[in-house]
Amino acid sequence: MPKFLKVLITIILIILISYFGIVKILNIPEKIMKKIYPKNYSEYVIKYSQEYNVDQLLIYAVIKAESNFDENVVSNSNAKGLMQLMDSTAYEVANNIITNQTFEPDMLFDAETNIKIGTKYLSELLEKYDENYYLALAAYNAGIGTVDRWIEEGTIKSDGSDIENIPYKETNNYVRKIIRDYGIYEKLY
């Protein structure tokens, strides 16, 4: 299939998904949905989801939202790779898990390294927030200090039951998108 046609189909499906939501998505043939919601890099996702006790479907949803499975992407804020890790965060996490070499920021473009560090970081956030996906994802996007401040100030509850109150529009949409995609991955796989 020509690349142009793939891009056009993807754009149309994204519009449909955004407009109709998850209920109507299920009417799209499963074969097409699995192309939109792939399980790329499964050897690494499975390995590190087991090692760090994170649901692999959540990892796929994060990768889908962060990079759409493009291991070479760099964001406007300089987050890198599949799981869009900032150098400082990756360095901190990597120092605890990479013992045979010195961490270098360019290592984030290596799929296995990025998934390993990103999954470990996500596991630390899930542990910090008592396995609450909403709060862990909000912290993944906005930072731990920011989420802790929101909880302390009463902007959001510590059980994550009021994610609609997340004040940063980007983070609010981010959490909702990943939770939606996580649900889609659960239905497909």
| DSSP type of residue 143 | -
Please give the pLDDT value at position 23: 44
- Collapsing DSSP states into helix, strand and coil, what is residue 157? coil
The answer to whether residue 66 is catalytic is yes
For the ranges 12-26, 81-95, 164-178, which has the lowest average pLDDT?
12-26
Between CA 92 and CA 172 the distance in angstroms is 26
Give this prediction's pTM. 0.84
pLDDT digits (tens, 9 = 90+) for 96-106: 887 667 889 99
Choosing from 30, 51, 66, 124, the catalytic residue is 66
Please give the pLDDT value at position 15: 65
Confidence of residue 19 (pLDDT cuts 50, 70, 90): low
Between CA 170 and CA 152 the distance in angstroms is 20
Calculate what percentage of the chain has a pLDDT beyond 90. Answer: 77
Please give the pLDDT value at position 149: 97
With 0-12 / 13-18 / 19 or more C-beta atoms within 10 angstroms meaning exposed / middle / buried, residue 114 is buried
**38-188, what's its fold?**
Lysozyme (1.10.530)
- Residue 107: pLDDT over 50: yes
